[in-house]
Amino acid sequence: MAYEDLLKSVEESAQEKEQELRKKAALAIEGIKERAKRQAEAVRQASVDEAKRSVTTERNKMLYLIKAENKEQLIKARESAFAMAFRGAEARLKDLRADPKYPVIFEKLFREATSTTGDEPFLVHVDLRDEALCKKTLAALSLKGEIRTDLKTAGGVVISMHRNTVGIKNTVESRLERAKEHNRHTIHAILSGD
């Protein structure tokens, strides 16, 4: 019986050891599961955070590009409106000669162009359609200048010295171009509502 008791005692001891090992294994497994859950949650949160950063970055890029595109379209629209306004002015000024006030306008352009010539002889470049008016204006102002009908313009004159060193351009087109450049900023401010 001592042998059986010994076997029984060894068996009970082995069972206790087995249960103890099972408990330790179960605790270890639970610990591993808990660590794995925490790690998985940390990885998931890191992925979510990275995705949020990526989405935010992408959104910011898209907003920047959209703003830049909108700004470009606005600039194009302003330039188009600006160009259209001056094309309209050019179209209206092409018929300037038909205006009954054209001789007065021509004389004013002529006076401005010749105001700096002094007594020096000069050439008057005009459109062929303005030759007779130019002769009248020269006579009315008691000026002497050689008329050349080598200009194609909606109106006005170009004065040059005989040595062709100085040219004073005072045509409808040159004045419109100067007005365009001089008033560009103001017109753009008006178009943008500033």
Same domain? 75 vs 103 = no
Q: Which residues on neighbouring strands pair with residue 171, listed in sequence order?
A: 156
Q: Which residues on neighbouring strands pair with residue 146, listed in sequence order?
A: 123
Q: Report whether 168 contacts 116 (CB < 8 A).
A: yes
pLDDT at 161: 83
Report DSSP state, residue 145: E
- Which parts of the chain register pLDDT below 70? 1, 163-166, 191, 193-194
Same domain? 77 vs 127 = no
Can you give the residue range of the structural domain that contains 117?
A: 99-192
Same domain? 55 vs 78 = yes
DSSP string, 60-109: HHHHHHHHHHHHHHHHHHHHHHHHHHHHHHHHHHTTGGGSTTHHHHHHHH
CA distances from 170 to 35, 96, 112, 125, 166 (A): 88, 15, 8, 10, 13
Model pLDDT for residues 38-66, shown as the tens digit of each residue = 888 888 888 888 888 988 999 899 989 89
Same domain? 69 vs 5 = yes
Same domain? 84 vs 105 = no
Q: Mark out the alpha helices in the chain (DSSP H runs).
A: 2-93, 102-114, 131-140, 172-192
Same domain? 116 vs 54 = no
Between CA 137 and CA 110 the distance in angstroms is 8
pLDDT at 164: 65
Same domain? 5 vs 27 = yes
Same domain? 89 vs 123 = no
Tokens at residue 178, please? Answer: 């100067």
pTM over 0.85: no
In total, how many domains does the chain have? Answer: 2
Same domain? 65 vs 24 = yes
Same domain? 52 vs 68 = yes
Same domain? 64 vs 145 = no
Same domain? 87 vs 109 = no
CATH of the domain at 122: 3.30.2320.30
CA distances from 182 to 52, 76, 179 (A): 50, 20, 5
